[in-house]
Amino acid sequence: MNIFSIKGQIVDLFARRIFPGEVTVGDGIITAIREVSDAPKQYLLPGFVDAHIHIESSMLVPTAFAQMAVVHGTVATVSDPHEIANVCGVEGVQYMIDNSKLSPFKFFFGAPSCVPATGFETAGATLDSKAVEALLQSPDIWYLSEMMNYPGVLHGEAEVMAKIAAAIRAKKPVDGHAPGLRGTEAATYAVAGLPAGQAGITTDHECFTLEEALDKIKAGMHILIREGSAAKNYEALAELLTLHPDKVMFCSDDKHPDELALHHINEVVKRSLERGYDLYDVLRAACVNPVLHYKLPVGMLRAGDPADFIVVNNLTEIGVLQTYIGGEMVAEKGKSLLPYTAVIPINNFKAKEKKPVDFEIKAASETPVIRVIEAIEGQLVTNQLQLPGKIEKGLLVSDTAHDILKIAVVNRYEPDAKPAVAFIKNFGLKHGALASTVGHDCHNIISVGTDDESVCAAVNALVDCKGGIAVAKDKDTVECMPLPVAGLMSVANGYDTAAAYTKIDAAAKELGTPVHSPFMTLSFMALLVIPSLKLSDNGLFDGRKFEFTGVEVE
């Protein structure tokens, strides 16, 4: 039996007190916590939990993600394998589970509820209610992942309700995803189709205003304050830490590897404490509320708990000195102690190379008015603009002077599908193009660029490597970062992936984009369940009306 003790200032989140103490660990369990007369000025507290994340969006397989996250004091994640499920189906979900078991890090996966997210796009797989119910029977599946089809919930669609009912039968929580839903609609969404008094959809991480969050809390939901690489809602929602501390958790949702190299949930904790929010409320959101809500076997620094805890230098900087998971030290003084195991990739990629002519749009009018997606920094929602279109030789083209660029989505699952093409504002490219096979949620190829030749070159680079991210400075100069695992994840370790991503992110910014995380932002421009205007492989989509619309305004 492996027994050791460690002393420090114990942060007891349940008694809301700090005291000098000694924690004794035996065989991965905290066997005793006792108060002592003197202890070092280091602080022991439960490890951090990311309450909602897509590991795939870090471009890392689970073991590589764990290797980096533990350095920042994260010991567990509530992980939705929705991204790889859209590419590879149930096989992809199992791939994530199998890889995660090679690490002591605590991954808790959900059953993806919306594969595909809508019927308006092409995915690599479909998970119907029978497939979801089968997944929910697995002890490796802890909850039903975000129910993005909120119109389906509100209208009581049979397949949607069957998935929710399967989770209720399995006694597993249901995660929500309902951006902008307010008032009676939020209340209906939370309990749709369920007997009175029974918990239905219990969380939401898509709130972008405090008023929306308060409506959902009133409806009985917990709010996950999201601070990811693209979507950042902390500023709007931080007041919930005071108003409803028992209903709040922290999550990143999507985290690129360059940012994960720098920080994770620890950064949100630090910001909250700097702003004067109560220490115990902040740490409960980061360490305790997710464990209680999802009933996770993660320690909360109590005798009898798994020995999942961290040691920090003080309660202002939250500098992580050591991270323990199951009694094993997995990080010390900024260095990960977890090894990385090489992986064999899986994929689903059939697209063939395209030609520049495939990205042309013929103008229907001599003075066209076009619908333009307006990307918003730090948000997944977009606006729908109507602006004058630029014509050259009878074709609608990018207007770099007014920052109106071509955007295209190419079906990766069929060899000869015609690209869908539209226009977008606020990417700010002065020349060239970006492309990625990380394109939520179906992960077709998505590209933005200043001219058809550059867009085509970036897309074809990804066809050649069967998935990744690419920067085309022009039609002849292309830099590519392959992502061999489903076109979403690298086979390299976390730090090498972060370095490669940092390099290609810099190349993207050399094209002129002011966007903080251009590839992450680009990936959400195909996410149809987030209004108001997006692009799927089948065409321009109005997320308010939930229907396709034309590029030109008639």
pLDDT confidence bin for 192, thresholds 50/70/90: confident
| List of domains in the chain | 3-336 (3.20.20.140), 356-548 (no CATH)
Q: Is the pLDDT of residue 367 over 80?
A: yes
- What's the chain's average pLDDT? 95
pLDDT confidence bin for 74, thresholds 50/70/90: very high
pLDDT confidence bin for 151, thresholds 50/70/90: confident
pLDDT given for residue 196 in this prediction: 59
pLDDT confidence bin for 195, thresholds 50/70/90: low
Q: Is the pLDDT of residue 480 over 80?
A: yes
Question: CB burial class (10 A; 0-12, 13-18, 19+) of residue 307?
Answer: buried
Once rounded to an integer, what is the mean pLDDT over residues 485-504? 96
Q: Is the pLDDT of residue 275 over 60?
A: yes
pLDDT confidence bin for 67, thresholds 50/70/90: very high
What is the share, in percent, of the chain residues with pLDDT greater than 90?
A: 91
Q: Is the pLDDT of residue 374 over 80?
A: yes
Q: Which amino acid is at 332?
A: E
What is the share, in percent, of the chain residues with pLDDT greater than 70?
A: 99
User: How many CB atoms are located within 10 Å of the residue 212 CB?
Assistant: 23
Going by the DSSP 8-state scheme, the letter that residue 485 receives in this structure is B
pLDDT per residue over 215-254, tens digit each? 999 999 999 999 998 788 999 999 999 999 999 999 999 9
Once rounded to an integer, what is the mean pLDDT over residues 434-444? 96
- 126, 115 in Cβ contact below 8 A? yes
**Among candidate residues 519, 359, 545, the one with its CA nearest the CA of residue 440:** 519
pLDDT given for residue 199 in this prediction: 62
pLDDT confidence bin for 198, thresholds 50/70/90: low
Q: Report the run of H or E that residue 87 belongs to, with start and end.
A: helix 82-88
pLDDT given for residue 538 in this prediction: 97
Interatomic CA distance for residues 11 and 315, integer angstroms: 10
**Among candidate residues 46, 72, 71, 61, the one with its CA nearest the CA of residue 337:** 71
Instruction: Compute the Cα dihedral for 375, 522, 55, 108 and give only its sign.
Output: positive
- C-alpha distances (whole Å) from 422 to each of 151, 318, 440, 544 are 25, 45, 17, 18
pLDDT given for residue 341 in this prediction: 85
Q: Is the pLDDT of residue 118 over 90?
A: no
What is the end-to-end Cα distance of the chain in Å, rounded?
75
pLDDT per residue over 289-299, tens digit each? 999 999 999 99
pLDDT given for residue 409 in this prediction: 98
* Cβ neighbours of residue 350 closer than 8 Å, sequence gap 6 or more: 412, 413, 414, 415
Beta bridge partners of 18: 11
Q: Is the pLDDT of residue 197 over 60?
A: no
Its pTM stands at: 0.94
pLDDT confidence bin for 340, thresholds 50/70/90: confident
